[in-house]
Chains A and B, each alone.
Chain A
Amino acid sequence: ELKVEQNPLFLSMQEGKNYTIYCNYSTTSDRLYWYRQDPGKSLESLFVLLSNGAVKQEGRLMASLDTKARLSTLHITAAVHDLSATYFCAVDDTDKLIFGTGTRLQVFP
């Protein structure tokens, strides 16, 4: 059974600081996705990573994938309040999309 684990589960960080969210998974999949969820809302796609070594960047967020280590990271640079949300990684397992536990990010002044 595919397991997808994220850490930390909760992250409180000051504006301007950097931090990394980690996503570990237990299968050999090379297709991983990152999503953002605002409170009470649906999920919004952030990044699609489809091969080992893939790196994608959008604004203050950068995602990478290491399929050999079965690890993806979401790096936050110089956090701002607007980034406060819950972030999920998801792994494709032959037509099933399995989500991680989520990381709730809170950015304060």
Chain B
Amino acid sequence: SQTIHQWPATLVQPVGSPLSLECTVEGTSNPNLYWYRQAAGRGLQLLFYSVGIGQISSEVPQNLSASRPQDRQFILSSKKLLLSDSGFYLCAWSLGGFTEAFFGQGTRLTVV
């Protein structure tokens, strides 16, 4: 069966520090991968999605970037965090629309 791993679960980082969040999927090949951010009490904002290795589409201009170095690995990065980067970050995978997306457990990021 397929599983998705996302870590860390919680992170407190100072303003201006770098960020690296990692997400890996097991049990499937060539999934679509997504990064979402959810501000407190709000909806999900699509940040990046990827349909294949090295293929990244950015939805929202910001100081974040994403990479997909391997088929089932998706990384969210920042060189310098801002206070506004605080939120709940969720990684998800799907098989391209005919099935639902499955979500990781999320990373709660607090920038102080």
Asked if residues B100 and A33 are in contact (CB atoms below 8 Å), the reply is yes
**A95 to B101 alpha-carbon distance, docked (Å):** 11
- Chain B residues with a Cβ closer than 8 Å to the other chain, count: 25
The listed residue (A42, A45, A92, A96) touching B104 by CB distance below 8 A is: A42
Residue in B98, B105, B106 whose beta carbon sits within 8 Å of that of A50 in the complex: B98
Q: Is the interface of A mostly helix, strand, loop or mixed?
A: strand
Q: Is the CB of B90 within 8 A of A43?
A: yes
Candidates A31, A42, A95, A99; contact of B51 at CB < 8 Å:
A95
Most buried by B among A43, A88, A96: A43
Q: For window 19-49 of chain B, which residues contact chain A by CB distance below 8 Å?
A: 32, 34, 36, 42-44, 46, 49
Q: A43-B90, A88-B43, A100-B43 are in contact. Are A95 and B105 (CB under 8 A)?
A: no
